[in-house]
A and B are shown apart, each in its own frame.
Chain A
Amino acid sequence: MISAMKEIAGTLNNTHVQDWKKNGGHVIGYPCTYVPEEIMHAAKILPFRLRGIGTKNLSIGDTYFGPVICSFPKCVLQLAGESGYSFLDGAIMVNGCDSMRRLDECWRKAGEDYPGTLPGFFHYFGVPHKVTDYSLAWFIDEIKGLIIHIEDHFQIEITKESLHKSIRLFNESRKLLQRLDEIRIRETVPITGEDALCLVIAGFAMPREAYNKALKEIIDEIDKSQDIMDGKKRLMLAGSVNDDPDFVRLIEESGAVVVTDALCYGSKSYVDLTDEDEEPIASLARRYLSHSFCPRMFGCYKQRLGYIRQRIEKARVDGVILQNIRFCDLHGSENGIFERDLEAQGIPCMRMEREYGPLVETGRIRMRIDAFMERIG
C-alpha cells in the first residue's frame, strides 16, 4: 500500500487527480501550509499543494524571476509554463516568503505569454507575519474573501456545516499522522523517513476521504512491521520545504533513518489541530495563523527552538540535519542559530544548503552526510 502512496508522491497529475477531474471535480493549487485546505474541501474542490517535481530545466522560471530566487517557485512556474498544471482550475498565491509571493506576478505574466497556463481562478491570499488580535481579524477577513471568491467563481456555497465537516476530516488526517509519528520515534523503527515523507505528501495530492482511509490501513500495517534500524543512526530533518523523497533516501543510504522532522511537508503540517467546536472560520484562522512554525513568522525563534528540542528529545535523535534551499534566507539563517543553540546542548547538527528540484548534487550531499555520520558514529 505504501507503494501506491509513493506513486502519488512521485507523480504530479496522479491517478486520483485524473479520476477527480474525470468526474467533473475542480482542483485548486496552493503552495504553502498557511492556506486552509478545509475551505476548498468544503467547496467540494480538491486542494492540491503545488510542487516543482520533475522539472528538467528552468528556462521559463528564469525568464520571469530574477537570478537570486529560490528554485522552488521557479520550478512551480516552470511546470505551469509547460502546462504541467493544466489540471488546475484555480491557484491561490500566498506570501509565504518573498520568492513565493512573487510567484503571483510571475505566473500571471507567464500566463500572458503562454496562453492557457494561468488557471481561471487566481487568488492572492495575504497572511500576516504576526499573531495579534488585529492580525487574526485580518486573517479572518482574508479567509472570508477567499470563500466569497471561490463561491462566486465556482458557483458553489460553502456552508458552516460543510466547513465543520471538513475540519473534522482534516483533523482526522492530522491525528493519523501524529500516530505515525509515535510509531516512527519508537526504539524499534518500522518505517523509513523516505516512506514517511511519501505518506505526508500524498495527503496534499489526493482526496482527503480516500487518503484517511488508506493512511489508517497503512499505519496499522506499519505498526506491526519489523524494525529497520539495524544499528543505524536516528536523525531529524529540519529547515526549508522538502517534498523530495529521493533527498531523504540519500540521507538514509548513509546509514541513518530519519525518525522525525520539523518540516512543512512533515510534522509542521499536522502537529496542531483545528478546534472543532468553535465558529469554523475563526477556528481555522486561529489554527493556521497561530502556528508559528515557519520563520516567516518573525520574532518567534524561541517557540521554534522549543518545538525542535521537544521533538529531538521525544525521538531521541543522534543528530539533526538543518537544510535550506539556496536563497532561502529565512530557514538558512535561522538554521545558523539553531545550530549554535542545539550544539551547545550537545546535539550534533549539520547545516546544508541545497538546490530544490531534481537531485543534481548527489555526490556533494552524500559526502557531507557521510562526514556527519562519521562524526556522530
Chain B
Amino acid sequence: MNRETTEYNYAWMIWSILDHAAKTYDGSPKEYRDLLDLVPHFDSVLDVFLKQGEPGRLFLKLIAEYTENCLHALQRGKKTCLTSFSVATPILYAFDIVPVCLEAYTVLGTIVFKRGTSQFLDHCCELGFTETSCSAQRGALGAFLANLAVRPDFIVCDSPGVCDSNANSFAFASAYLDIPFYQLNYPSTLTGKRAETYHRQDFRNMIGFLEEQTGTTLDQDRLAEIVCETKRQDELICELTEYNRLIPTPVPALYDLMVYGAKTMMNGTKQLTELLEVMVKKVRDNAISAIAGSTSTREKARALLCYIGHYTTDARFWNWMDKNDISILGSILCTFWQDSASYAEGRSDEGYHIKDTDLDAMIDSLADQMSRMPMIKSIRGPYDAPNMWLEDSIGMARLLHADFIAYFSTVGCRNTWGSVKLLSRDLEAQGIPSLLLFVDAFDDRVASWESITGRMEEFIHVRGITKHSHTRYTA
C-alpha cells in the first residue's frame, strides 16, 4: 500500500465526500452547476446521482448519514458489527448496533474514487488473501485490516452455505483481527419445514450472540417499530417492481443500485422509507406521463442482470445504460422475496411475510426475511433446482419483459462461475439472449471499461436487441 494511502482513514474519506456531496444540491441549480467545475474528480459521479433530482439527493443524504453513523459509533458508545450486504439489518438496528456493511464500503470506494480500491484489494493479498478472493469484500477489507476504517466489535455474516468466497473473507477478518464471529449458515434448500426450522433456529442463535456481544436483551418495542417500518418499505419496493413491468419502464436505471444500496445499509430505518416514498412518487409520475425512466425518456432495450452490476468509477455502468436508453429491470440484488412481490405470486412458500403480532412472530418473520435476502435465496442450491437461480432468472425475465440478461460478476465468485455457463445455455434455450462478461465488478484491472462497453455494444448489435426490442412501445 502506498504511504499516501495510509495517511487517510478510508471510512472518514468516504463519509466526508458523501457528506459534502449530499449538501451540494441544497443550494440553487446554478450553484450546483458551477460547483461541478470545482470538483473535477467527483463531478461525474455526483451528477449521476443528483440528476435524479430529489431521490438522488435523498439517497446521498442517506448514505452520508449511514457512513457518519459507522464512523462515530465508537464515540457514541455503540457497538459496530461488520456485516455482509445480505445480512438484513433490522435485527441489528433493534439492538442499536451499527451495521458496517463491507460490500457497501467496497462499492462506495469503487464508485467514488478514480483509482477505485485497488490499493486495498492488493493490501489484502499482502496480508495473506489469495489474489483470486472476491473483490467485493477485499476492496474495503484492506482498509479495515490496515486499521484505516472503523474497528468492528464483532462480525455477523450470512453467506456460509451460499458463497464461500464471501464467508471466507469474514472468517479471515475475524481470525486476523481476533474478534468474535457469528455465521448464519444456510442449507441448500429454501422451503419446507426442515429448512424453515433451521433458518429460525440459526437466527435465534444469532440473537443470543448479539445479546452476548452487546450485554443487552432484545427490545421488543424497538423491534416492533422497526418491523413496521420494514413492512412499509417492502410495500414500496414491491410497487417499484410493479412499475418495472410497464413498457417502457418508468423506473430509472440507477434505481437498481439505489434500492439495494439503501436497503443494504438502512433496512428498517425511517430514512429508507422516506427515500423509497420519493422514488415511488417519481416513478409514478413517469408512469402517468407514459415515459421511460431514462434521461431521454425513451427506452430502446430492457436488460435484466442475473447477478450484480458493475461498480467501477463514477457509476458509469448505470450512466452508460441510461445514455443508451437501456433500462435496468433489476438484478439478483433487487429481489427480496416479500410474499407480496409480483415475482413471488404463485410461489407463496418462497416469499416471506412480516408479522408483528408478538415477539416470536416478529423474530420468525425476520429470520424468514434474512433467509431470502438477495443471493442468499437463489444461489444456495443447485442452479436448476426449484426456487433457485434459473427459475428466478427466467421468472423475472418473463415478468419484466426483459430483452436480454447480462451476467456481471467478480473473478472471486466460485459459486456463480461454477454454473453460469449452464444457466446461460438454459436461458438461451428459453429464447432469452444472455451475455456473460468476464469482468470484475470492482476491479477494472481485470477487464477495462472500454472492453466491457465494446462487448455489450457488439452483443446488442449482433443479437438485434434494440432492433427487436420494445422501442415500439415507447411513448
Contacts and interface: CB of A to CB of B under 8 A. Distances in A.
B168 A295 contact: yes
Interface in B268-302: none
Contacts of B459: none
A63 B168 contact: no
A298 B382 CA distance: 21
A129 B418 contact: no
Contact of B418 (A98, A339, A351): A98
Contacts of B176: 337
A301 B171 contact: yes
Interface in A329-377: 329-330, 332-337, 339-340, 351, 353
Interface string B130-172: 1011100000000000000000000001001101110111111
Interface string B409-432: 001111111111110010000000
A129 B130 contact: no
A30 B168 CA distance: 24
Interface stretch (A66-74, A179-187, A256-264): A66-74
B415 A98 contact: yes
Given A65-B417, A98-B165, A339 B181 contact: no
A160 interface: no
A64 B421 contact: yes
Given A98-B415, A102-B415, A332-B130, A134 B438 contact: no
Interface in B440-463: none
B127 interface: yes
Given A68-B412, A132-B205, A327-B132, A102 B419 contact: yes
B129 interface: yes
A117 interface: no
A134 B421 contact: no
B164 A336 contact: no
Contacts of B164: 97-98, 296, 329-330
Given A106-B419, A138-B187, A298-B183, A337 B175 contact: yes
A109 interface: yes
Nearest to A339: B128
B190 to A, nearest CB: 12
B384 interface: yes
A201 to B, nearest CB: 25
Contacts of B171: 295, 298-299, 301, 334
Contacts of A299: 171, 174, 181-183
B161 A129 contact: yes
B438 A67 contact: yes
B412 A329 contact: yes
Contact of B160 (A66, A102, A130): A130
Nearest to A305: B175
Contacts of B130: 324, 327-329, 332-333, 336, 353
Contacts of A102: 414-415, 418-419
A124 B197 CA distance: 20
A102 B168 CA distance: 18
A353 B171 CA distance: 20
B169 to A, nearest CB: 8
A95 interface: yes
B202 interface: yes
Interface residues of A, number: 50
B187 A126 contact: yes
Contacts of B168: 295, 298, 329-330, 333-334
A243 interface: no
A97 B414 contact: yes
Contact of A68 (B129, B172, B417, B422): B417
Given A327-B132, A333-B130, A339-B128, A105 B163 contact: no
A106 B133 contact: no
A126 B385 CA distance: 14
Interface string A296-322: 101101100000000000000000000
B422 A333 contact: no
Contacts of B185: 128-130, 135, 298
Nearest to A138: B198
Nearest to A326: B132
Contact of B417 (A69, A129, A302): A69
A275 interface: no
A265 to B, nearest CB: 20
B422 A337 contact: no
B383 interface: yes
A241 to B, nearest CB: 14
A99 B412 CA distance: 11
A353 B197 CA distance: 40
A238 to B, nearest CB: 14
Given A298-B183, A340-B128, A105 B419 contact: yes
Contacts of A332: 129-130, 132-133
B201 interface: yes
B197 A134 contact: yes
A15 to B, nearest CB: 34
B382 A329 contact: no
B30 interface: no
A104 interface: yes
A141 interface: yes
A70 B414 contact: yes
A105 B383 CA distance: 7
A63 B132 contact: no
A197 to B, nearest CB: 24
A105 B384 contact: yes
A329 to B, nearest CB: 5
A351 B128 CA distance: 9
Contact of B128 (A135, A141, A302, A335): A335
B119 interface: no
A349 to B, nearest CB: 11
B425 to A, nearest CB: 8
B76 interface: no
Given A129-B185, A298-B168, A66 B418 contact: yes
Contacts of B181: 298-299
Interface in B310-357: none
16 contacts: A67-B438, A70-B414, A99-B414, A99-B418, A104-B382, A105-B384, A105-B422, A126-B187, A128-B185, A130-B160, A134-B202, A299-B174, A329-B129, A329-B132, A336-B172, A337-B172
The 6 A-B pairs of least Cβ separation, nearest first, read A336-B128, A102-B418, A66-B417, A332-B130, A98-B414, A301-B175
Given A66-B419, A332-B130, 4 more contacts: A68-B414, A101-B418, A102-B414, A298-B183
